[in-house]
Amino acid sequence: MVLTDTIADMLTTIRNGLLVQKEKVQTPFSKVKSNVLKVLTEEGYIKDYKIINETKAKKKIEIVLSYIDGHPSIKKISKVSKPGRKVYTKIKKLPSYYNGYGVTIVSTSKGIMTDKKARRSNLGGEILCQVF
């Protein structure tokens, strides 16, 4: 059985695009990726994203990367939960990333959100990734 981590693939695509100063990158579509990108857009780590329909069965997401004075707005992006080892946390043990300057993206029962929103909503869940 082959396990692939589509979110990790998307984060790697973003990381590689930022390293070579690309304006846009593309990744295959999924609802979870779209929700993670929505959080990254709200937090200002990427400019925008849009869903592209190539055919009826094939969709892609085009991600517009963000730069500040020629430097990438994302300095570090990493996946926490992996297919072989899911990381869940309670609200009291929810980590802050870089003393609150970074963002931890959490999948909760109310959807995918930042660690700050999860604390306000009093929700724990699976830690997907961390961005700084």
Residue 118, pLDDT score = 96
Location of structure tokens 């990158």: 25
Residue 3, pLDDT score = 63
> Structural domain boundaries of the chain?
6-131
Architecture of domain 6-131: 2-Layer Sandwich (3.30)
Torsion angle in degrees (nearest 10) through CA of 72, 113, 34, 4? 90
Residue 1, pLDDT score = 47
Residue 80, pLDDT score = 96
Residue 2, pLDDT score = 53
Contact call for residues 63 and 27 (beta carbons, < 8 A)? yes
Q: What average pLDDT values come out for the chain (132 residues) when binned by 10 residues?
A: 81 96 96 96 96 88 96 96 93 87 96 96 96 95
Written as one letter, the residue type at 53 is N
Is the whole-model pTM more than 0.85?
yes
